[in-house]
Amino acid sequence: MDSATSLPFTLSPNASPVSAQRRAEILANPGFGRVFTDNMVVIRYEEGKGWHDARVQPYASLTLDPAAAVLHYAQEIFEGMKAYRTAEGGITLFRPYANAARFRKSAERMAMAQVPEELFVEAVRQLVRVDHAWVPGNPDESLYIRPFMIASETFLGVRPAGEYLFMVIASPVGAYFGAEAVSVWVSDFCRAAPGGTGEAKCGGNYAASLMAQQEAKTHGCAQVLFLDAVERRWIEEMGGMNVFFVFDDGSVSTPALTGTILRGITRDSLLTLAREMGLTVREERYGIDQLYADAASGRLKEVFACGTAAVVSPIGRFCGRNGDAVIGDGAGIGPVTEKLRNALIGIQRGTAADPHGWVEKVI
């Protein structure tokens, strides 16, 4: 066993946490990603020494040298996952080892130190246990957990860093989108190209999407859809979310993983659930022109986005330079989308059976 997987954690939690009254006020309307819990996890890496100094400590600002490698060469990766409060008051995580495995793949692509999967998951457990009072209990609310790693070595030179910080922070959150279907802008910008970092969960991919997101807002859209970088016709993914299509024969389709699309854990879970429901599922290329034609003919009945933050969110309209494509009634959630969403949420929140062992009880 890698010695890093059994690192002892020094517990030095915040001696002046937010008061119970103030925390209750925050949890009554948590928003998304603006308020953070009392503590965080910090683990250090140094080439030749490995992972060491694992700590749970008060949430605080970082002190970085101006020449820290992350600031100049963007060696940075992150994950997004959630902790849920069950009806019985317990707290669970959803597929934490899948996040840990994807984190390792992202680190490999960005030439960063590998965090052992058990160490990754244990760091998340430690923070959730210390800050368990921050986990909301209302429907559509959860504790959003952000593990991330940055290159902290001080140097100027184009090479992989030899020092890293792995950290975990958390934020109580409500629904990312509301219950109504959203409108999506079909962007002329590209998110990722073959051979690039599209499959890695690194900040640069999201930075590259921000101008497109701004453009979407100017057109009254909540999200953006990216096409492939080569032919500019094949649908890939949205700004941080995967996308699914439901057709009039009840079949479900999503773009195939080609190295430019993030391997969404929610995506993978929904594919499994759809097959278990007896739906015909395809992972295949789907063109934007075909989407417009299928929406007009009625063949395309439902479209939804999925991801850790949004979970499952219906899409009612695609907008672009070629006009609008309305999906269904353009406003509500379709029956297949709703069924898949309820099945996933039921497992995540412990109200449905978990035959795959996706849920881990932390408390």
Question: Which active-site residues does the annotation give?
Answer: 201
* 223-227 vs 235-238, strand pairing mode: antiparallel
| Token pair belonging to 212 | 């497109």
Cα-based angle 23, 24, 28 (whole degrees, multiple of 5): 120
Indicate the burial class of 269 (C-beta count within 10 angstroms; 0-12, 13-18, 19 or more).
buried
Q: Phi, psi at residue 244, to the nearest 5°? A: -125, 155
| Token pair belonging to 338 | 């709703």
| Token pair belonging to 139 | 């429907």
74-93 b/e with 16+ CB inside 10 Å = b?
ebbbbbbbbbbbbeeeebbb
User: What is the distance between the alpha carbons of residues 201 and 110, in angstroms, rounded to a whole number?
Assistant: 10
User: What is the distance between the alpha carbons of residues 214 and 220, in angstroms, rounded to a whole number?
Assistant: 10
| Token pair belonging to 294 | 């299928």
